[in-house]
Amino acid sequence: MEVWPMRKCPKCGRENDDSFSFCLDCGEPLVPKPAASGQQAAASTSPPSAAAQPAAAPAASSPAQQKAAPASQAAQPAAGAEPTLPCPSCGKPVNPGDAFCAHCGHRMSDSGPRSTMFLHTAGPEAGAQPRARLILINPDGTEGAVYNLAEGKTVIGRSQGAIQFSDDPYMSPQHAQLEYSQGRITVSDAGSLNGVYLKLTAPTAVAPGATFRIGRQLLRLELPGEFTPLDIKAPDGDDSRFWGSPPPTVWARLVQVLEGGKIGEIHLLVLPEVIIGREEGNIRFPEDGFISSRHCALTNKQGDCQLRDLGSSNGTYLKISGPRQLQNGDRLQVGSQVLKVDLS
């Protein structure tokens, strides 16, 4: 069986026919192979081979032989093969799937259809499948790493799951679980210590036990409860009443939860609307630079409490208490990480 000599492209490594001047894949000029010393000696005493012959046939050939030679030497397509395309630059035949002309190096990508390059079938009936991504939001507010979500369940954690943040001490080994199916994505807590928080996009009903984060503050809404009495005993024979401030009408209290789970400040909620901020409002955290001047508000309407963000820079994040379906653009806080949902 005859073996055709091949020439390897020095740039992309494709094997090209030895007669080609340019690589079919990348268009790199192909340097001719140096002839062996024995072949050079033979070439000096023998006529050039057919591959090195000019287009004209030898003078000794008959006219019939001259007409038959191109038919036997040219690279004619076999029966059933795809027809070649003429190169728009030099006119030589080029296979439909070739990126470059083998004779002059012209790029063929814009010269005609190249069916071998299609990765999927275009058309309305075969559109791209819905996909979901999580985009990490850096501390400066810019977008960072992107995590593509496959169909099914994806776990986020410090040491377990497909998405891991090994340097986040506030993230549990297995923290949150996402489920993506038919273009919809749902998040749930995987039994973490610190929970999963969702950024508010509209006023949201909250009940006693609700926990939310603003800036670096963790706040919990609680029932007012009973006031703790002082351990004061009246002297013997003294039947007077203890004097003190009139008890307020408290509908709830807001508890600051400190690092390590300790109780900090306790704020009694008396007004029907309580504004929380850094410089303005009824409850202020002046030393927290991540809280806006007017950050969020708690409103009591006949026993129904709502939490809403007041257009703050960093948002108000409410801890989820069960599986939640996410919308495009939603932001999650998992440990110290903020992740943006991208459904497209």
Give the model's pLDDT for residue 106. 67
Residues across the chain: 344
Cα–Cα distance measured from residue 121 to residue 49, given in angstroms and rounded to the nearest whole number: 47
Cα–Cα distance measured from residue 187 to residue 339, given in angstroms and rounded to the nearest whole number: 12
Cα angle: 277, vertex 278, 282; to 5 degrees: 45
C-alpha distances in Å from residue 341, one per residue of 36, 99, 144, 198, 276: 64, 39, 13, 11, 27
Query: Residue ranges of the alpha helices (H) in the chain?
Result: 37-45, 63-73
Give the model's pLDDT for residue 5. 66
Residue found by looking up tokens 């003078």 in the block: 59
Cα–Cα distance measured from residue 131 to residue 223, given in angstroms and rounded to the nearest whole number: 43
Cα–Cα distance measured from residue 328 to residue 330, given in angstroms and rounded to the nearest whole number: 6
Condensed to tens digits (0 to 9), the pLDDT of residues 57-99 reads 344 444 344 444 444 444 444 444 557 778 877 778 877 667 6
Structural domains of the chain, ranges and CATH numbers in brackets: 1-33+83-114 (no CATH), 132-193+338-343 (2.60.200.20), 196-225+249-319 (2.60.200)
Mean pLDDT of the chain: 80
Surface-to-core class of residue 224, CB atoms within 10 Å of its CB (0-12 exposed, 13-18 middle, 19+ buried): middle
Condensed to tens digits (0 to 9), the pLDDT of residues 246-257 reads 888 999 999 999
Cα–Cα distance measured from residue 257 to residue 263, given in angstroms and rounded to the nearest whole number: 5
- Decide: helix, strand or coil at residue 194: coil
Q: Which of 5-9, 128-132, 203-207 holds the top average pLDDT? A: 203-207
Cα–Cα distance measured from residue 269 to residue 282, given in angstroms and rounded to the nearest whole number: 9
Residue found by looking up tokens 């999927």 in the block: 120
Q: Do the Cβ atoms of 273 and 297 come closer than 8 Å?
A: yes
